[in-house]
Amino acid sequence: MASEEPKAKKQKLSEEEKTERPSKKAPAKLSPNSLFGMGNPLLDISAVVDKDFLDKYTLKPNDQILAEDKHKALFEEIVKKFKVEYHAGGATQNSIKIAQWMIQEPHNVGTFFGCIGKDKFGGILKQKSEEAHIDARYYEQDEEPTGTCAACITGDNRSLVANLAAANCYKKDKHLDLEENWKLVEKAKVYYIAGFFLTVSLESILKVAKNASENNKLFCLNLSAPFICQFFKDNLMQVMPYVDVLFGNETEAVAFAEAQDFETKDIKEIAKKAQALSKVNTKRQRIVVFTQGKDDTAMAMSDKIETFPVLKIDPEDIVDTNGAGDAFVGGFLSELVQEKPLDQCVKAAHYAANVIIRRAGCTFPEKPDFN
């Protein structure tokens, strides 16, 4: 009887949906919880600010940092002084959300774990994750408030200041190790964690990474920011042997190369050297994907480096580059979890990033126009 159910569902698709998705393969082989993400759930507070605001808080126009004491007042000031927008954020959660949007159906292909507070912002995050059709299982605690991230936008640049707060409180023994949660980890085929989580719970990352490696599943990691490569190098290199797909942008790639003494600033060379770092699961050769803004994306795969041009966009159409990197990864994962060829993964990544930079925050239209 069970095999009849998908047919019945398919027949219920309206004519409109049939015409909108002509070349989509039936996503029957994708089951809920196929894609697993774990990271820092943050509520994004984004606003177009001025140079004086950046200078006051000693922010670079294009950067991402963790909030220090001197930044604490920034979060209140940005809300008072500028027109702000709230979005569910945090790098990993963004990518899982975008992947789910690209896939559309079934819902809850993406699972997300992270820590929030028992507060208003936590409630907003839960609501937003439901709206995005991802299966977010938050560890909720009341010692710290839900984390926030201020996106300070000037022109095409954005400076991110993250106040992790509750996101910093994720506990392996209190959440990941629980039987009902670990079952969801085991259901996944593809795992993705942004490097930012290396500052929070290395032991949680290693448990997931080792499990993926032992079961010949795909574990993906993002360098995420220069400071991760520089100041959390030891944590990063403990996870690297389990990484099947490594993502980063050109600034992060150069910072990684410096920290590793690669003695090159050539993005393709760095990709090659990162690919050659030791790896536990030798059944899969590591794939390294480095984006370079409007320049070609470089990918080290098998024994060659390929470059892929990004989709052209008029600079006037760029609204907000915040989230472009997360969207790139989300697009890539949406195809990877469906076992599509790598060039198709990059194509989807470029498409998703191109959609996101035309809008404020990491937001998207109702349906993708990608096939």
Active site residues: 326
Q: Two tokens at 325? A: 């990197």
Please state, in angstroms and rounded to a whole number, the distance separating the CA atoms of residues 76 and 89. Answer: 18
User: If you search the block for the tokens 């702000």, which residue do you land on?
Assistant: 84
- Contact (CB, 8 A) for 334 and 171: no
Tell me the Cα Rg of the chain: 20
- Contact (CB, 8 A) for 89 and 149: yes
Please state, in angstroms and rounded to a whole number, the distance separating the CA atoms of residues 264 and 251. Answer: 13
Please state, in angstroms and rounded to a whole number, the distance separating the CA atoms of residues 308 and 350. Answer: 9
Q: Count H helices, E strands: the chain?
A: 14, 14
Q: Two tokens at 123? A: 């409630």
**Alpha helices, DSSP H only, in the chain?**
4-12, 15-20, 51-56, 72-81, 91-103, 120-131, 179-187, 202-214, 226-231, 233-239, 250-259, 267-275, 324-336, 342-356
Find the helix or strand (DSSP H, E) in which 169 lies: none
Half-sphere exposure for 333 (CA within 13 Å, toward CB): 38
Bond preceding residue 106 cis, omega within 30 of 0: yes
**Exposed e or buried b per residue across 354-367, where buried means at least 16 C-beta atoms within 10 angstroms of its C-beta:** bbbbeebbbbbeee
